[in-house]
Amino acid sequence: MSEPRPSITLNAFLMGTGHHEASWRLPDADPRVSRDVTYFQELARTAERGKLDSVFFADSPSLMTDPARRPSETLEPRLLLSAMAVATERIGLVATSSTTYEDPYNLARGFASLDAISNGRAAWNVVTSADLKAGANFGYTTAPTHAERYERAEEFLEVVLALWDSWAVDAVIADKTAGVWADPARVRSIDHAGDRFDVAGPLTVGRSQQGRPVIVQAGSSGPGIALAAKYAEAVFTATPTIEEGRDFYRRLKDATVAAGRSRDHIRILPGLVPILGSTEAEARDLERQLDDLVVLDHPLRQLAADVGIPVDQLDLDRPLPRDIRSADEIEGNKARYELTVAMARRDDLTVRQLLLRLGSGRGHRAFVGTPEQVADTIEEWVTSGAADGFNIMPAVLPSGLELFVEQVVPILQDRGLFRREYAGTTLREHYGLPVPGTEGGLPQTG
């Protein structure tokens, strides 16, 4: 079997007891794991055993879920990943941070630190924070609009990239004889003066083994795609059907080329929620068991709020009413709203069916079946221009990740699609990305 070239990209999206709404209610689940660092270190080691590219945490600076509904504690992802960095050697570490509610200097410093601590394995998932409640935690009386958030995101990114580039690769000389530690000409101010930020620089942290952290992006609206095309090196997205996957893939790759970058320097990773069993019937049983544990009242109230109608006008056994909010009125997660409504209409779902679909993957592609069948789906998507790999979102953790690593990964390796060993040590090497400033990669800023 020859070593696959290039390997597809597999990222493990980690979340407490798993992505299924009711995973925490299964008999074996520990509903308190969200604050257990040893649990997450073990998950990272499992992903690394499977030679996965990276692990990832989503985040919002606000309590996103009704605490009655499911385990809703989330530790700050950079801190948590820092603990996972010392428990692993190769796996990439992707943390979400908000351009709307953070400060660029502190953020650049935090990620550069994680990149140093992990020897070049860090990535920043750039989000504009769709949860409008977050604004109230930062003194906003009205939440910034979708358009304002993306305008700020662009300047924010420029500042962060310039700060990461404020140290030249060869800045540190450490010449004990001459008594010179670093060349001051190679540690530069950035003197950014913009509409929203004034930042002098330089940063307190220099280059890592991979140059600078990888930029990941996860917004799929028009402005989201424009931002990704310009800056992102990997993109997480929710495309439930292969047709939607191909359409998104083509649009984003074309936009990346139009932005003057190589189409190979952006990895497009749709979400995939595998619900695995050794037979299809066993997988369906697990799905049924999970669905039976969903307390429908919680997602029903959330859906009513999202679509903008009173909850008593949603009948569980009838389709979504026609007279609901249009996507133009959505200031939060625009792309996901469009996707949810389109899925309900296309598949003629009742409200109950829609809620159960969302319960297993929040609009990402859920796949119920055997390891062989999941591998078939992955192969079909990556060989037909719908994905460069996947954001694997196990419905149940840790068992779903263990099964994926033990049973799906070997099939992908045997088919020559996925690496058997890591070829490098940094996340850029796993994703097949250049070090910025070399080989026609992202331009060096500043």
Ligand X SMILES: Cc1cc2nc3c(=O)[nH]c(=O)nc-3n(C[C@H](O)[C@H](O)[C@H](O)COP(=O)(O)O)c2cc1C
Q: Which amino acid is at 130?
A: A
- Report the 3 state secondary structure along 366-426: EEEECHHHHHHHHHHHHHCCCCCEEEECCCCCCHHHHHHHHHHHHHHHHCCCCCCCCCCCC
Q: Tell which positions 124-163 bind ligand X, by CB under 6 A.
A: 127-131
Measured N-to-C along each axis, helices 297-307 and 334-346 cross at an angle, to the nearest 10 degrees, of 110
Closer to ligand X by CB, 131 or 291: give it.
131
Among 229, 238, 303, 412, binds ligand X (CB under 6 A): 238
336 scored as a contact of ligand X (CB under 6 A): yes
Q: How far is the CB of 145 from ligand X (least distance, A)?
A: 11
Task: Based on the shown chain and the rule CB under 6 A, indicate whether residue 208 belongs to the binding site for ligand X.
Answer: no
How far is Cα 230 from Cα 399, in angstroms, rounded to an integer? Answer: 37
Q: Binding to ligand X by residue 80, rule CB under 6 A?
A: no
Closest contact distance (angstroms) between CB of 238 and ligand X is: 5
Minimum separation from the CB atom of position 427 to ligand X (A): 17
**Amino acid found at 398:** P
Question: In terms of DSSP H, where are the helices of 118-178?
Answer: 146-164
Q: Which one of the spans 103-111, 207-215, 327-335, 397-405 is the region binding ligand X (CB under 6 A)?
A: 327-335
By CB under 6 A, is residue 60 in contact with ligand X? yes
Cβ proximity to ligand X, 206 vs 245, nearer residue: 245
Q: How many CB atoms lie within 10 A of CB 316?
A: 12
CA distance to 6, 188, 294, 410, 420, per residue, from 423 (Å): 11, 33, 42, 17, 9
**Residue 115's CB: how many other CB atoms inside 10 A?**
28
Q: Which of 324, 335, 368, 442 binds ligand X (CB under 6 A)?
A: 335
Closer to ligand X by Cβ: residue 219 or 274: 219
Q: Does 391 bind ligand X (CB under 6 A)?
A: yes
Instruction: Kindly tell me which of 58 and 405 has the beta carbon lying closer to ligand X.
Output: 58
> How far, in Å, CA of 348 to CA of 128, rounded?
32
Interface with ligand X by CB under 6 A: which range of 53-61, 206-214, 307-315, 408-416? 53-61
Interface region with ligand X, contact rule CB under 6 A, candidates 218-226, 274-282, 348-356, 416-424: 218-226
- Quickly tell me which residue has 């140093």 as its tokens: 116
Q: Which residues bind ligand X (CB under 6 A)?
A: 58-60, 96, 127-131, 218-221, 224, 236-238, 271, 333-336, 391
